[in-house]
Structures are given as C-alpha cells and as structure tokens.
Amino acid sequence: MVVNGLVFNKAAVELLGKPEYIAIGLDKENKRLAIVGVDENYIEAKYPFANTDAKQKRVVITATLLRRKIRDANCKEPERGGTHYAITLEDGCGIVDLGGLNDE
C-alpha cells in the first residue's frame, strides 16, 4: 500500500490469475483484504486490473475511498515508499493480512 493507492507486483498479479477486473472486500475486525477476480458484468465496485500487457506486470489502484477504508482498518498510514504486505491464495481469493507486515 502506498500513499496514493494499492500496488500489486507481477507475482501478486499472477497469483490472482491475471483477471481483467477485481473486487476487494475488507474485513475490519480481522484486518484482512479479500481480492477476487470478476468480469465486466459484476455490478458492485470493481477495479480494472490485468486488462493490458503492462498491467500484467504491475497494477496500481488509486481509489481514495478504498485506500481510506484500508488505512482506517489498519490504524496507520503507509510508510514513506509504501507498506508491503504478503498476499496468499485461499479458496480462489487473494488474502492480504493487514496486521502481518511483510518487509520484503
């Protein structure tokens, strides 16, 4: 997470299966994000993801409301240069534990 949004590196994009769009759910109580690939017909909030060749290497999502919700759930601002979190795959969903910092 960076000051202006969320950044997904190539490994995270590949882990999620390079979907054209994603939906992001936030579990405030457990400080976790759930990220799932969706199609263009998904009617809830969705974000363009790996829909171009360049975005299959790195994706930046600059959604102010989403960023605020994540910051509020995490109870801290991102570090200068960004705060890095690991993403794992559980039942087809990308899971990011906002309480577990990944210093890589």
The 8-class DSSP code of residue 53 comes to: T
Q: Where are the domains of the chain?
A: 6-101
pLDDT over threshold 80, residue 24: yes
The CA distance from 38 to 72, in Å, is: 25
What is the tens place of the pLDDT at every residue in 39-62?
999 998 888 887 777 777 778 777
pTM (2 d.p.): 0.77
Would you say 79 and 103 are in contact if contact means Cβ atoms under 8 Å apart? no
Report residue 86 CA to chain centroid gap: 10
Instruction: In whole angstroms, give the CA distance from residue 96 to residue 84.
Output: 10
From CA 65, how far away is CA 14, in angstroms rounded? 26
